[in-house]
Structure 1
Amino acid sequence: MNNDAQLYPIAVLIDELKHEDLTLRLNAIHKLSTIALALGPERARNELIAFLDESIDDEDELLMALAEELGNFVPYVGGPEYAHVLLSPLDNLAAVEEPLAVESLNRICEVLVKEQVETYFLPLVRRLTAGDWFTSRTSATGLYHVAYGKIQGSPSQAVMRSLFKGLCQDDTPMVRRAATTNLAIFVKKIPREVIIDEITPLFHSLAQDDQDSVRLLTVEVLISIASQLSPTDNQSHLLATLRNLLSDKSWRVRYMVADRFVKIAEAVGPEIVKSEMVNAFIRLLKDSEAEVRTSIAGQIPGFCKLIDRDILLRDIMPPVKSLINDVSQHVRAALAKEISALSPVVGKDNTIEHLLPMFLQLLKDDFPDVRLNIISKLEQVNNVIGIDRLSQSLLPAIVQLAEDKQWRVRLAIIEYIPLLASQLGVEFFDEKLGNLCMSWLGDIVFSIREAATINLRKLTEVFGVEWAKNTIIPKVLAMGSHPNYLYRMTTIFAITILAPAVNVEVIRNYILPIVNQLVSDPIPNIRFNVAKSYEVLGQTLEMSLEGKELLEAQVKPALDKLAGDQDADVKYFAEKARNLIFG
């Protein structure tokens, strides 16, 4: 390649990057790796990166794209040995608080050796940390943890901690927020003695910040520090601040505490859980803010696993029960989603005594999401108390919900039926739920009818072909003569889904006659679904000699007739099925 040809990619790139069209400039950035590959590592370092360093655009979308591209650019500049040349353009991007620039800088830092970090990366971190604009300092907070881990044993580590402390005490709340967020990551790279001497005082200061948007972020810092220290250390160095956070005046802070409650409990150790966090948990269950109660409701099973069952039943269960009547529907929905998971924790007898009454009340809640959440998790209860007890207690409520006005609730019941059927047995199912399952086939909502047909196949897999032949197939086929075309359509859907689960005898004696009958249906939508049904039936029938005979004797003539249909869709699906089955 001559020099003129080599210069061409950069010349084109310059023109495209200066073009008024944003899309063209964006495409140019996405071509950077291709151009770098054509130039080779040396010219990519000396020319392309230098050009990019001088040509930083001010469009956010372009800055994001460039930052992301440069994070993957190490191979194009000659590998880790030269990776530091990428720092300069990313330095400029990070100065305007481009998060992807910070990610790319950290990715590059990962491949640098200790000397490169000291020589090239730390000066960049210092510049950003001392920047006049808060955007620069905000970006700097995200660059400490990787670099710190790369310079183990260096005096520069103490300098980095001192610089980071300054960011945590910055006058601008946005910088303090970013520093607090990144302190939770940074602390994982710091040894125990330094955490106790330097980081915990910093944490205490941030946890008392006048901005609640800073204080709420210290919850993650608490978890990180507590995870690095021993339970004894946590008692000595974190307990006072933990108490303040647990009862903070801002509901947003209490919300964050509630949202991370189990993680906090696991990190601080069992003694603090017993002495402090049980009472705090009860207070949060009774909090004045619905958002806090919603959040802590999601922590009920996880926290209850960490405490003695006696404490759970005596102290925690009463306020949990009170949430059933909470004024907020979101609190009740959160409780319904989690309460079933308490069954394995409290055991069979306590589930029957304490939880079953709660389930029954939640199943009658006015808010559909509450009913939906309790239904979707009943399997956990079944595993503890058994289907007999569950069906005796909850079956009437389940049957009632099967006709719920909210279709999503009906859908959840349908999806739960196969599990219930496998546990109840065929006789109990036929007596209590059989007619219910058939009624869903005539539901006004298509999603319910569709789910009901899938449900029939699952039930056939549970109870067997003989059961399906005697119990559900006759009822399905009867709908094939219904004057309402939607019922006839449901018949086609149902038998199409059922076909792979039954044998050739059932297809020959029951399914094919009704499908053949519907070939002449006046509704085109039904005729082309008949063609699609033949396609599925063909895959089942061609697996046996008798099935192949049926294909030739009955299916082929029917598809030939449909292939001559006046409706274009019917013709298309008939020809598609015919080609697939007969080639």
Structure 2
Amino acid sequence: RNQNCRQVAETFANCANFHLVGLISMAQADEGESVFPIAILIDELKNEDVQLRLNSVRRLPVISKALGTERTRNELIPYLTDSIDDKDEVLLAMAEELGKFIPYVGGPHQAGCLLSPLESLCNMEEGVVREKAVASLNGIAKELPSELLQNDYITMIRRLARQEWATSRAAVCHLFHTPYPLLSEALKTEFRDMYAKLCKDEEPMVRRAACSNLKNFVAVIKNRIMVVNVFVPIFTEQSKDEQDSVRLLSVENCIALGQALGNKEQVQQHILPVVKNYCIDKSWRVRYMLADHFTGICESMVEEVTQNEMVKSFIFLATDKESEVRTSIAYKVYDFCVLIKTEQIVKDVLPIICELVSDQSQHVRAALAKVIMKMSSMIGKDNTINYLLPLFLTLLKDEFPEVRLNIISKLESVNEVIGIERLSKSLLPAVVNLAEDKQWRGGGGPLKEKPPPAPPPG
């Protein structure tokens, strides 16, 4: 026991900034066999071996239990704060563990001590470390009592927002929305002002962070007038940012704002013009992002706007000069058609689908082949026979194997609409030809994996 006590004392003596007062009595109060492993864990916090340090950080709850809540607050947390100079994997683990540390420091009323090390982690260069620190801070904010939240937590946010380092200002952009509903009106105004300033930061890194969190901030704003007066102007500016990395992040914010505004007039006035600008953005990455989120944006709008206006944007994207954009929107053909009327599908969308079927990019054709068969149930038997069957047959004869496989794998969708007899006459001969193609069958047997639907008994 005496030897274990000396080892514990020596361990803490070798750990800079750790107080020794009372450690011997702590060791004497515990059983020797439980003290020694704790001593090893503490010693490994400063070990040269990264893996040992990482293991020790992951066992911080064990260390804190041995120390008790008071000693954890007064000694372990300050020590960790002074030790924020380590490998990224160690700091990542520390950021994660500290987010779960409220019980080990004495509960929510004592949780203010956790803010300092997490604030330091928000300054780190590595993005995943900052993200984990932000996630932990947001979790802690939900449990803090009002006094700590409106004093210590808000003070920390002010410091981060004023930091010279762009990493800190980028991190703080993700810390506004969680405490916002719990604040006084004066602090809410201050938060909106701080956020608006960060949206205009000179560093693209900060503007990207602010833009990516707009949807979360808007989600906690219950006042529609405030959304229009404060957040719509911010969104509009972000959609025009000189950096395409900011503009493409702003695309997803159409969904949050469309839901927040909620009525036809507001959406037509504030969201639709931005969507139209995205369609002609000079960066293909922005147009691709619009195509990728297209149905989500449509769903966030009132039905009338989608049916009257978004069809034009869909056609624009489907004829984009970049194949990546056309591929992305081709995947959305079915999901978009669900949102519009059958007459519009036949009149406006089917002509575009005809063009995509013969698109020069095999990836566009493969994307279309993956979803086009499901359209049969939407437009009915007659329209399927008149318009879609010729397109199915064209895709079934495509030179690119993935296109053919995507069609074959969805034959049952058409069978349910037009019946096995018509399907047999129209498409199955082409399937049989493929089955007899040695090169096709030799590639791994797609036809074996997904045979055409069998005729009913008799």
TM-score by length of 2: 0.87
For 2:384, the equivalent position in structure 1 comes to 351
Corresponding position of 1:415: 449
| Offset at residue 407 of structure 1 (A) | 6.0
Tell me if the contact between 1:401 and 1:409 (Cα under 8 Å) persists in the aligned partners. no
Q: State which of 219, 222, 225 in structure 2 corresponds to 1:188.
A: 219
In the alignment, what sits opposite 1:279? Answer: 312
Q: Following TM superposition, by how much is the alpha carbon of 1:408 offset from its aligned partner in structure 2, in angstroms?
A: 9.0
Q: For 2:113, which of 80, 85, 100 is the aligned residue?
A: 85
- Aligned 8 A contact 2:396 2:407 in 1: yes
> Which amino acid in structure 2 is aligned with residue 136 of structure 1?
S
The aligned counterpart of 1:220 is: 252
- Residues 309-458 of structure 1 correspond to what in structure 2 (within 5 A)? 309-403=342-436, 405-406=439-440, 411-417=445-451, 420-421=453-454, 424-425=455-456
Q: Equivalent of 2:200, from 134, 156, 169?
A: 169
Distance change >3 Å, CA 402–CA 193, structure 1 → 2? same
Rounded Cα–Cα distance in structure 2 between residues aligned with 1:394 and 1:150:
62
Structure-2 separation of matches of 1:350 and 1:79: 65
| Offset of residue 392 of structure 1 | 2.5
Equivalent of residue 134 in structure 2, options 90, 102, 115:
102
Q: Which has the higher contact order (CA 8 A, sep 6+)?
A: 2
Question: CA 1:14 to 1:57, structure 2 compared with 1: closer, same or farther past 3 Å?
Answer: farther
2:190 alignment partner in structure 1:
159
1:129 counterpart = 2:152? no
The unaligned stretches of length 5 or more in structure 2 are 1-23
Alpha-carbon offset, residue 375 of structure 1: 1.8
- Note if 1:250 corresponds to 2:283: yes
Deviation at 1:8, TM superposition (A): 6.1
| Alpha-carbon separation, structure 2, partners of 1:10 and 1:51 | 16
Query: In 2, distance between residues paired with 1:268 and 1:408?
Result: 48
Measured in 1, the distance between the counterparts of 2:38 and 2:172 equals: 31
% of aligned pairs identical?
Answer: 49
**Matches of 1:160 and 1:406 in 2, distance apart?**
62
Deviations 1:477-513 (CA, angstroms, capped at 9, x unpaired): xxxxxxxxxxxxxxxxxxxxxxxxxxxxxxxxxxxxx
Q: 1:201-239, CA deviations, whole angstroms, 9 ceiling, x for partnerless residues?
A: 111111111111111111111110111112222123333
**Displacement after TM superposition at 1:9 (Å):** 6.5
Q: Which residue of 2 aligns with 1:470?
A: none
CA 1:286 to 1:136, structure 2 compared with 1: closer, same or farther past 3 Å? same
Q: Could you tell me which amino acid in structure 2 is paired with residue 320 of structure 1?
A: I
User: For residues 359 and 112 of structure 1, do their structure 2 counterparts lie closer, same or farther at Cα, with a shift above 3 Å needed?
Assistant: same
Residues 521-559 of structure 1, C-alpha deviations (whole Å, 9 max, x = no match)? xxxxxxxxxxxxxxxxxxxxxxxxxxxxxxxxxxxxxxx
Q: Judging changes above 3 Å, is the alpha-carbon distance between structure 1 residues 401 and 34 closer, same or farther for their aligned structure 2 residues?
A: farther
AA partner of residue 71 (structure 1) = G
How far the C-alpha of 1:193 sits from its partner, in A, is: 1.3
The SS at the match of 1:347 is helix
TM-score (norm 1): 0.69
3-state SS of paired residue (2:453): helix
Select which of 235, 257, 280 maps to 1:203.
Answer: 235
How has the CA–CA distance of structure 1 residues 125 and 403 changed in structure 2, closer, same or farther, with 3 Å as cutoff? farther
Instruction: For 2:213, give the aligned amino acid.
Output: N
* Root mean square deviation, CA, Å: 2.0
Task: Check whether the contact 1:372–1:408 (CA below 8 A) recurs between aligned residues.
Answer: no
Give SS of 2:252's match.
helix
SS in 2 for 1:420: coil
User: In the alignment, what sits opposite 1:72?
Assistant: 100
Separation in 1, partners of 2:376, 2:99: 48
**Given that residues 219 and 256 in structure 2 are in contact (C-alpha distance below 8 angstroms), is that contact kept between their aligned partners in structure 1?**
yes
| Unaligned 5+ runs, structure 1 | 428-583
- CA positional deviation for 1:386: 2.2
Between the aligned partners of 2:235 and 2:205, the Cα distance in structure 1 is 17
What is the alpha-carbon distance in structure 2 between the residues aligned to residue 403 and residue 64 of structure 1?
56
Residue identity opposite 1:198 in structure 2: V
Q: Is the 8 A contact 1:203 1:218 kept in 2?
A: yes
Does the 8 Å contact 2:118/2:133 carry over to 1?
Answer: yes
Aligned to 1:526: none
What is the alpha-carbon distance in structure 2 between the residues aligned to residue 145 and residue 377 of structure 1? Answer: 44
In 1, the alpha carbon distance for the partners of 2:420 and 2:102 equals 60
- In the alignment, the residues of structure 1 paired with residue 209 and residue 440 of structure 2 have an alpha-carbon distance, to the nearest angstrom, of 44
> Per the alignment, do residues 406 and 71 of structure 1 end up closer, same or farther by CA in structure 2, a change over 3 Å counting?
farther
Matched residue pairs, number? 423
The answer to whether residue 57 in structure 2 is matched with residue 29 in structure 1 is yes
Displacement of 1:38: 2.2
- Aligned-partner SS, 2:173: helix
Q: 1:123: how far off?
A: 1.2
